[in-house]
Amino acid sequence: MKLNELAVMLDAELEGDGEVEIHRVARIEDAGSGEVTFLANPRYQPFLNTTRASAIIVSRNLDSSGVRSRPSPPAILRTTDPYLAFLRVMARFNPPPEPLPPGIHPTAVIDPSARIGERARIGAHAVIGRKAVIGRDSIIGHGTVIGDSVTIGDGTLIYHNVTLREGTTIGARVIVHSGTSIGADGFGFAPKPDGSYEKVPQLGIVVLEDDVEIGANCTIDRATMGETRIKRGAKLDNLIQVAHNVVIGEDTVIAALTGIAGSVKIGKKSMIGGQVGIAGHLSLADGIRIGAQSGIHHSVKEEGQSMFGSPALPHREAFKIQGAMTQLPELLDNVRTLRKSVTALEERLSELAATVRKPNP
């Protein structure tokens, strides 16, 4: 692809020879002739004047005078968001492989009442239950089980060995990675007088709205009643537990190993780090940020709040506490020294008091 074609694709301002051919993408420190790279993180600024790439994608306001002064400078592509532009270039030069060939594998088991959309692909040993609906251009991977009355929208990709339990509703352009289970029973048990437990019926469903992505080996439980709902554009990493009746807001992202207890409501455009634990029945406002390994034990009402620690606190307060903890050994040494000094002073004062109380001869 010629650089001028790339500039048009990215709506970028081109500085340099538009006839240069680009064949690959590469990191800025590794790129060579015929390759395009990008600069978005200031940490990589030093490579701007040394990279051997044929072209660099940069922000519109970046000072490139050092690059232009080189004997054979690379071309510059100026965009509003260099990182997103580079992602588009990566997709152009490295299109993802097709998960399945067209058609339905002969070993797939499909109930006669199921409806399969045009151009849908279904892999080997997949099972499609009664009254299930598979949208147009959707892909169902090998060994995946689609339960009764499951609905899957158009253009959705369900990878291999996924389980979608009965009644689950999946929107359009959703991606669910291998090993994930959606719609299992929520963890509900009522204690009985004899100390045993009665299982609470789990009668609800799970709804994934459009453009959601779920990582590998996640578990998303059905609601006790009503819905567990993951809203449009939310992205979940691998190994995440979402309990019954949880609601996750639009465009929220959650990192791996997070556990969300029942009936939690998470606002839109939030970011939750890895290994976070969220206690049940809490509400978290829009745009919150939760640091990795934090424990959330109370609702967060302030939008855009950043939290960290266990129990989680506003991040500035939490960082002060973390900083103070590093000083605890020295503080303990000082306290022990002070205690010894106070004890010695008390003993000396006792001796002086005894001397004053003695009668004169």
| CATH code at position 70 | 3.40.1390.10
Q: Is residue 188 in some structural domain?
A: yes
Is residue 271 pLDDT above 70, yes or no?
yes
Residue 89, helix vs strand vs coil: helix
CB atoms near residue 97 (< 10 Å): 5
What is the DSSP track for 176-203? Answer: E-TT-EEEEPP--EEE-TTS-EEEPP--
In this structure, the answer to whether residues 195 and 65 fall within a common structural domain is no
Q: How many domains does the chain have?
A: 3
Residue 70 DSSP one-character state: S
Cα 35 to Cα 26: distance, rounded to the nearest angstrom: 6
Mean pLDDT throughout 20-27? Answer: 96
CB atoms near residue 293 (< 10 Å): 16
Range of the domain at 48: 3-93
Please tell me which residue, 65 or 1, carries the higher pLDDT value. 1
Cα 49 to Cα 64: distance, rounded to the nearest angstrom: 9
Residues with catalytic function: 244
In this structure, the answer to whether residues 248 and 165 fall within a common structural domain is yes
Residue 200 sits in a domain whose CATH number is 2.160.10.10
Q: Are strands 277-278 and 259-260 parallel, antiparallel or unpaired?
A: parallel
Q: Is residue 102 in some structural domain?
A: no
Cα 179 to Cα 348: distance, rounded to the nearest angstrom: 73
Q: Is residue 99 in some structural domain?
A: no
Q: Which residues contact 120 (CB under 8 A, 6 or more apart)?
A: 104, 134, 135, 136, 137, 138, 139, 140
Is residue 360 pLDDT above 70, yes or no?
no
In this prediction, residue 49 carries a pLDDT of 86
Distance of CA 65 to the CA centre of its chain: 37
In this structure, the answer to whether residues 296 and 331 fall within a common structural domain is no
State if pTM tops 0.75: yes
In this prediction, residue 359 carries a pLDDT of 64
What is the DSSP track for 1-51? Answer: -BHHHHHHHHT-EEES-TT-B--EE--TTT--TTEEEE--SGGGGGGGGT-
Mean pLDDT throughout 175-182? Answer: 98
Mean pLDDT throughout 232-247? Answer: 98
In this structure, the answer to whether residues 135 and 21 fall within a common structural domain is no
Is residue 99 pLDDT above 60, yes or no?
yes
In this structure, the answer to whether residues 217 and 277 fall within a common structural domain is yes
Cα 133 to Cα 216: distance, rounded to the nearest angstrom: 23
In this structure, the answer to whether residues 132 and 193 fall within a common structural domain is yes
- Tally: H helices and E strands in the chain: 5, 37
Q: Which long-range contacts (CB under 8 A, 24 or more apart) does 127-130 make?
A: 129/166
Are the C-beta atoms of 170 and 208 separated by less than 8 Å? yes
In this structure, the answer to whether residues 224 and 333 fall within a common structural domain is no
In this structure, the answer to whether residues 148 and 207 fall within a common structural domain is yes
Provide the b/e sequence for 177-200 (b: ≥16 CB within 10 Å): bbbbbbbeebebeeeeeeeeeeee
